Every structure is written in C-alpha cells, then in structure tokens.
Amino acid sequence: MSGSKEISRRELLKAAAVAGVGGVTLGLGKAGIAATAKEKPAAKTKSTKKILGVDVIKLGGQGVISGAHADYGWQIQSGAIMAIDEINAKGGILGSRLELKFMDEELKPAVAVKNARYLATDWGAHLLFGVDSSGSAMAIGPILPELDRICVFDHASTHRLTEELVYGKGIKQIFRIAAPVYQESNLAALIFKENPNIKRWAGIHCDYEYGYSVWAMFKDTLKKYRPDVEFVSIAWAPFWTMDFSSHISAVMAANPDGIIATPWAGEGVMLLRQALMLGVFDKVQAWFQCMGASVDILEGISREVEAGKFKDKLWATARYIHNYPNTPENNIFVANFRKRWNRFPNYSAENAYSTIYVFKAAIEKCRSLKTADLIKAIEGLKIMTPAGERFFRPEDHQAIYNVPGGRVVKDPNYPIPVLGDLKVFPAAAYYRNPPFQALTMGK
Amino acid sequence: METLIFQGLVGLSVSMYLWLLAAGLTIVFGVLGVLNFAHGSLFMLGGYFTFTYYGLLGINFWLAIALSLLSVGVVGYFMERFFLRHIYHMDHAYQLLLTFGFILIFDDAVKMIWGGVAKIPPMPSFFEGTVSVVGRPFPVYNLFIIGTGLAVAIAIWQLFEKTWWGKMVRASASDREMASAIGVNIPTLFTGVFVFGAMLAALGGALGTPVRVVAPGIGAAMIIQAFIITVIGGLGNLKGAFVGAIIVGTLSAYGILLFPVFELFLIFLIMAVVLMVKPQGLFGGG
C-alpha cells in the first residue's frame, strides 16, 4: 500500500493541522466536528509492530455540507465520527487508529472528483466513503481503479452505479451500503399496486439522475403489476428550486389520484408545505414522498403532521428509519446517537456509521489495506448493522437489506413524526437482480 | 383555459418574490451604479431574521417582518458605508469581487449563527386556507403575496415620482455631479438608497418564510434569477424589473405545465432573444 510507512509524531500533527484547515475552509458550522474524531494518541504504539504497518488508517469522506441539503453531509459525518470514536476507544482496527477527513462535494461531480483525488493522492486516505449526489457518484466510480482505492457509497442511490459500473463495467472498487432507488420506486410500486382506486399517477421529480431513475423504475414496475394505471403528468425541478407551486399546480391540472415525489431535504419540506397550501391533500388519495422518512423532513413537517393536515395520505420511506428494526443493535445506535448529537439519526448517519464497521470487518478479515484484498473481503460479506443484517452481493457490490415504507404519523413515544402502518417487504421482493436490463430513462 | 388561468395566477405569485428581489437590485444599480452580487444574500437574511423573530421568539408576524427589515437595513448600512462607498470610483470588476465576497461571508455567518440545516418557520394561522379560483383551491397566502407585490410597486412609484427624496434620488441618478452642485448630499443619499434596496430584498425573503425554508446558499440561488430579470427588463429600470419578474415567473409556470422537458431552457431563450433584439433590455435606455 502506498504511504504505509511509520508516521512520526510531527508528521501526524502536521496532517492534523492540514485537516483542521480543510475543515475551516469547508464552512465553519458543521465541518468543525470532523476534528473531534482524530488526535487521540493510541496506547502502546511503540512496542508492538503494527499488523497493518500503519499507526493511522485514514478515512476520506465526502458529502454535501452546504446549502439546502447540508443536513445530509452533517448526518454522514456524525454517524462516521460516532463509529470512529467507538472503534478508537477500543484500540482501533488491529492496533491502528482511525482518522477522518471530510470534504464538501457541493453536489457537483467535478468537485467530488477533485476531492476524491485530493483525499487519495495528497492526503493519503486508505479508504474512501460518502457522497450524496448520484451524479457525483457516477463521476467518482470510474476513477477509483486509477486511484487504487475502494469507495463505499453511503447515500448516492442511482441504480446505475452498481448495475452499470460494477456489474456492467467491472469496476470492483465500488461498493454501496445504502439501498438504491429500488427503495423508493419498486417498494412504492409494491405498496400501491394493492390500492385499486389509485389509477392516475403523477410525479414531481428532481431534474437530475436521481429523479430520472426513480420515475423510470416506478413506472416500469407498477405497470407490470397494474396494466390499468396511467401516468398522467410529470414536473421536473432542478436543485435550488425555492418554489414548487408551479410544479404542483401543473401536475394537479391532470387530476391525479396519487403523486410520487423525489425532492429531498429542505426542498422536500418546501414541496410538502406548498402542496398543503394548494389543497392537494383534499384531492389526492396518496402522496409518496420518496425520502420523506428522513429525519430532517420529519422534523420539518412535524407541526403539520401533528395537526393532521396530511389527512393520513402522506407515505414515505428512506434508506433506514430509526424506528425499524426493533433490534438491540438499532436501539443502542439510536440511543447513543441521540445522546451524542441530540437528534435522531437519519439514514445517511446510519449508512455512514455502518460503513465504518464494514471497513473494520473487512480489514480484520483480510488483515490488509490493499485494495484487491479489501474487495475480496467485502464481496459476500454479511454484517449486522443497526438497519439489520446487510449482505454485499458479489455480482454488483450492492448491500442487501430491507427498509419498510409507511404512513407518516405522529407517535406519542417520539418527539417527531415517524412511519407507521409499516409495509415490510423482504429485500428480495423489490431489489432488482442480475442480470440487469437497462431502463429507458431521462425526461 | 381554466388550467391556463390557474397556472398563470400561481406563476404571478411566484413572480412577486422575484419582483421584490429584482426591484432593490435594479434601484441600487440605477442610482449607485453598483451591481450587487450579494443582493440575494440580503433576501436570505430577511428570511433568517423573520424566522428568528417570528419562529423562535414568537413575536407578532407583522412586527417580526418590520424588525427583520430594520435588521437587514442595518446590515445594508454597514455594507454601503464602510465597504461599497470606497470603491464607487473603481471598475465594475472590483465591485463584483467585493460583493461576491459578501455572499461567502453572509453564507458562512448564517451557518455559524443558525447552523447548516434548513430552518422552517411556521405559517401564521390567519393565512391558512384557500379560495376557489376557476374551481380549484388557490392559497389565500398567494393572493396576499400578489397584493403585496402590487402594493409595493405602487408605493415605490409614488416614492420616486411624488416625494422630495425620490426626486433627489432621480436627480442624482441622472447626473451625480449636477445634483451634488445644487446641494444634494450624495453620500448620504446613496446610503439611504442602498438601505432601501436591502430592505426590499429582505421583504421578499421575509414574505417567503411561511411557505418556504431558509437555508444557507438560497441567496446565491435567487440572485441568478434576479439578474435574468434585470437583463430582460433593462438594468437599472424599475418598470423593467416589474415586467421582467412577471415574464420570468409566469412563463416558467407555463413552461412547467406545457413543456416540462425544456422548461428551464425557456427563460434563457427569452433572455437571449431580448439581448439580440434589444440589448439594453425591454425598458432599457438608449
């Protein structure tokens, strides 16, 4: 492994200082927390020779930490830092401590690629993870062989990342721990195929990779089960849409029975508030907000859910929800997260937290930091995580686990709304399987 | 037909936020000659202050808006008095650099004070509900926004046409030296105009809070649209900003309804056509 030499204390301090400066330039608010995950001197460093040959295993993370979507990068960092601190407190991985550097991908593929190069080449990251935007993920994937690093993607969700780049082109350095768009498109189709009264569907979708793949897959899957449904209207919204009124009124002009929508984070909250304003929930029978069970959206619409304004018609899912599954692993994770950060973890946090434990499991399995060894170690890996047991499918490097969809409801046991009326389907029922058939997508 | 009327009305309400933003931008350019890149950030600050006064401190909605206008006015005062004033004589490039720097400063300041997560102010209950327009529910709040936008347009027009201050502003806009020679205190007047423009932006941001979210970066996102509007209408021309805002707001609403595939392209197409046919903008001088 390149750069696997003993690092002197001075060099370590220098690296920490560089990381600190990086944090500042990224924006002062949240980036500063990255600093807490490093600089804890490991005990007994001198006596035993390191199994991995390094004092520090460097983890290079990326996410969006600016703008209306900034909470996602914050959640990725918070989950990763929690796992790193837990592991370091127990002596690290095979005696090597973990150190994190986190960068803002700004939802821009060019920035994400630049960051990945910097993290791997200049900073010397052994492992890469993160990335919120599908466009960014599709740009980073192809340069991983050249960087000779693996990257575990913990949010970007286009099916093309694993289906085309891993299964199709054989880029084995890509892994994805989060559920891909199967979660919001195929699962939604399975839930709503049971409702014979919803025949006319409309979409309000992100005007980029993510929205295109969800809409294409939702239509494709639902049509297989329900040849009688129609897709009556569609509106596309780019990043930074501040007002969705025109989109909502345009799709409502076609009198849909159901609406499926992808805008996420702050944009998702705005979309739902404006839909309420326009009286949409008096007209439609169901609204499926794809990543609506993410904590930031649940917090954002809490008042309206409490007042019953969505009339129990709002449905959602996410890539993990904090009230599922009811296992000791999940309950402990949620409790510790709340204790540390005073918020509920959203899926980015769980996905990043589990990513760090996947690194741990893989390194312990192959006792190496070499990319080829790590790939072998993660392929076929089964690991218990807060979201349940994950299995990394060897063919496309996609982690298999299931997350239910459900109705957004108020639960007296929680300070924010949760998903109730859960519809649980095993992952095998809604994940696409190899060999993959390409979908026609786009506007 | 009903669909088109309804969509046009929705587009009109969106136009009004754009109008409030573009109005300040174009007034400041017309009088001071400064193209303020950070004007969108003042819009964002208007949202954050309203969120703080109304959403956090529970102050009366109208008072919260008034306080937020005052707060942004103070920010605008400092911006003009201690920074912009020193570069009026310099090239436009320096003004762009300075005001662009302000975008970064405001975004990071907002992150430090309010955090990176989008803030969601509550909706005042008296604005809830809809009225029936061509048989479809139309939000009362959007009607209020349309009314406010029109009222502000009339008020600004009255201000510049009928008041002494407005006349001084117009005089110094058309000939700074002559106005100065007949006793107009130009520096003070400029500060006043800048503060006024900042407060208009803040009003747009403040009025958005009940239905939108406030987040770092929304200023930079809004300013692009404001620039397009002023280019279409004519830089520095108030009537142009009003008409430009209505063109951009309603046409993008119709674009979303009728041409969802190339709706985004539509606005830029219009801007390109205006630039080719009338480079000074629809109402530009020359």
- Residue A63 belongs to domain with CATH number: 3.40.50.2300
Two tokens, residue B148: 């406010």
Instruction: Please say if the pLDDT value at position A89 is more than 90.
Output: yes
Instruction: Please say if the pLDDT value at position A184 is more than 70.
Output: yes
Residue with tokens 């190339």: B262
B3 vs A29, A253, A269: nearest CB: A253
| Fold for the domain defined by B2-277 | ABC transporter involved in vitamin B12 uptake, BtuC (1.10.3470)
Alpha-carbon distance of A270 to B209, in angstroms, equals 10
Judging contacts by C-beta atoms under 8 Å, the chain B residues touching residue A235 are 256, 260
**Tens digit of pLDDT for each residue in A19-41?**
433 333 333 333 333 434 444 44
Residues with Cβ within 8 Å of residue A376, at least 6 apart in sequence: A366
A287 and A246 within one domain: yes
* Distance between B140 CA and the closest CA of chain A, angstroms: 8
Instruction: Please say if the pLDDT value at position A190 is more than 90.
Output: yes
Average pLDDT over residues A257-263: 98
pLDDT at A10: 47
A119 and A138 within one domain: yes
* Distance between B162 CA and the closest CA of chain A, angstroms: 35
Alpha-carbon distance of A374 to A427, in angstroms, equals 25
Instruction: Please say if the pLDDT value at position A125 is more than 70.
Output: yes
**Taking a C-beta distance cutoff of 8 angstroms, is the pair A411, A417 a contact?**
yes
**Tens digit of pLDDT for each residue in A141-163?**
999 999 999 999 999 999 999 99
* Distance between B218 CA and the closest CA of chain A, angstroms: 7
A419 and A374 within one domain: no
- Distances in Å between the Cα of B115 and the Cα atoms of A101, A273, A291, A424 are 20, 22, 22, 35
Q: Contact B10/A249, CB-based, under 8 Å?
A: yes
pLDDT at A393: 97
User: Does residue A290 lie in a domain region?
Assistant: yes
A415 and A279 within one domain: yes
**Tens digit of pLDDT for each residue in B232-281?**
999 889 999 999 999 999 999 999 999 888 887 888 899 999 999 998 99
Judging contacts by C-beta atoms under 8 Å, the chain A residues touching residue B263 are 236
Question: Please, what is the end-to-end C-alpha distance for chain A in angstroms?
Answer: 44
Alpha-carbon distance of A157 to A302, in angstroms, equals 26
A50 — pLDDT class (breaks 50, 70, 90): confident
A128 and A17 within one domain: yes
- Distances in Å between the Cα of B6 and the Cα atoms of A34, B86, B212 are 49, 48, 21
Helix/strand/coil (H, E, C) string of B17-79? HHHHHHHHHHHHHHHHCCCCCCHHHHHHHHHHHHHHHHHHCCCCHHHHHHHHHHHHHHHHHHH
Residues from A in contact with B at Cβ < 8 Å: 27-30, 65-68, 70-71, 73-74, 207, 233-236, 238, 240, 242-243, 245-247, 249-250, 252-253, 265-266, 269-270, 273-274, 277-279, 282, 296, 299-300, 303, 443
Chain A nearest-CA residue for B111: A29
A68 — pLDDT class (breaks 50, 70, 90): low
Q: Before A325, cis peptide (omega within 30)?
A: yes
Two tokens, residue A166: 């891993």
φ and ψ at B196, to 5 degrees?
Answer: -60, -45
A416 and A369 within one domain: no
* Distance between A360 CA and the closest CA of chain B, angstroms: 30
Average pLDDT over residues B54-61: 94
A151 and A123 within one domain: yes
User: Does residue A107 lie in a domain region?
Assistant: yes
Judging contacts by C-beta atoms under 8 Å, the chain A residues touching residue B3 are 253
pLDDT at A21: 37
Cβ atoms within 10 A of the Cβ of A424, count? 13
Q: Contact A443/B257, CB-based, under 8 Å?
A: no
Least confident piece of the model among A55-69, A308-322, A331-345, B184-198: A55-69
Q: Contact A277/B107, CB-based, under 8 Å?
A: no
Average pLDDT over residues A103-110: 93
A248 and A218 within one domain: yes
Least confident piece of the model among A285-289, A355-359, B106-110: B106-110
Average confidence score pLDDT of chain B? 93
A224 — pLDDT class (breaks 50, 70, 90): very high
ipTM given for this complex: 0.93
Alpha-carbon distance of B266 to A264, in angstroms, equals 25
A84 — pLDDT class (breaks 50, 70, 90): very high
Residues from B in contact with A at Cβ < 8 Å: 3, 6-7, 10-11, 13-14, 17, 107-108, 111-112, 115-118, 120, 122-123, 130, 136-139, 141-142, 208, 211-213, 215-218, 221-222, 252-253, 256-257, 260-261, 263-264
**Tens digit of pLDDT for each residue in B11-24?**
999 999 999 999 99
Chain B nearest-CA residue for A27: B108
Alpha-carbon distance of A164 to A168, in angstroms, equals 4
Beta bridge partners of A231: A201
Q: Contact A265/B118, CB-based, under 8 Å?
A: yes
Element (H, E) at A138: helix A134-140
Percent of chain A with pLDDT over 90: 81
Instruction: Please say if the pLDDT value at position A4 is more than 90.
Output: no
pLDDT at B62: 97
Alpha-carbon distance of A386 to A326, in angstroms, equals 9
Alpha-carbon distance of A4 to B56, in angstroms, equals 51
Q: Contact B111/A278, CB-based, under 8 Å?
A: no
* Distance between A371 CA and the closest CA of chain B, angstroms: 35
B137 vs A240, A273, A282: nearest CB: A282
Number of domains composing chain A: 2
Percent of chain A with pLDDT over 70: 88
Element (H, E) at A315: strand A314-316
Alpha-carbon distance of A337 to A155, in angstroms, equals 19
A365 and A253 within one domain: no
pLDDT at B266: 87
A276 burial type by CB count under 10 A (0-12 exposed, 13-18 middle, 19+ buried): buried
Alpha-carbon distance of A136 to A7, in angstroms, equals 32
A227 and A312 within one domain: yes
Q: Contact B108/A68, CB-based, under 8 Å?
A: no
pLDDT at A51: 87
A160 and A108 within one domain: yes
Q: Contact B14/A65, CB-based, under 8 Å?
A: no
pLDDT at A240: 85
A187 and A174 within one domain: no
Judging contacts by C-beta atoms under 8 Å, the chain A residues touching residue B260 are 233-236, 250, 443
Alpha-carbon distance of A437 to A401, in angstroms, equals 21
pLDDT at B237: 92
Using N-to-C axis directions, what is the helix angle for B164-174 and B186-208, rounded to 10°?
110
**Taking a C-beta distance cutoff of 8 angstroms, is the pair A398, A176 a contact?**
yes
User: Does residue A271 lie in a domain region?
Assistant: yes
Alpha-carbon distance of B274 to B33, in angstroms, equals 22
Average pLDDT over residues A229-245: 93
pLDDT at A434: 92
- What range does the domain containing A221 cover? 182-318+404-430
**pTM for this structure?**
0.88
Instruction: Please say if the pLDDT value at position A53 is more than 60.
Output: yes
pLDDT at A27: 35
Q: Contact B253/A246, CB-based, under 8 Å?
A: yes
pLDDT at A31: 36
Average pLDDT over residues A413-425: 95
A49 — pLDDT class (breaks 50, 70, 90): low
A238 vs B213, B217, B264: nearest CB: B264
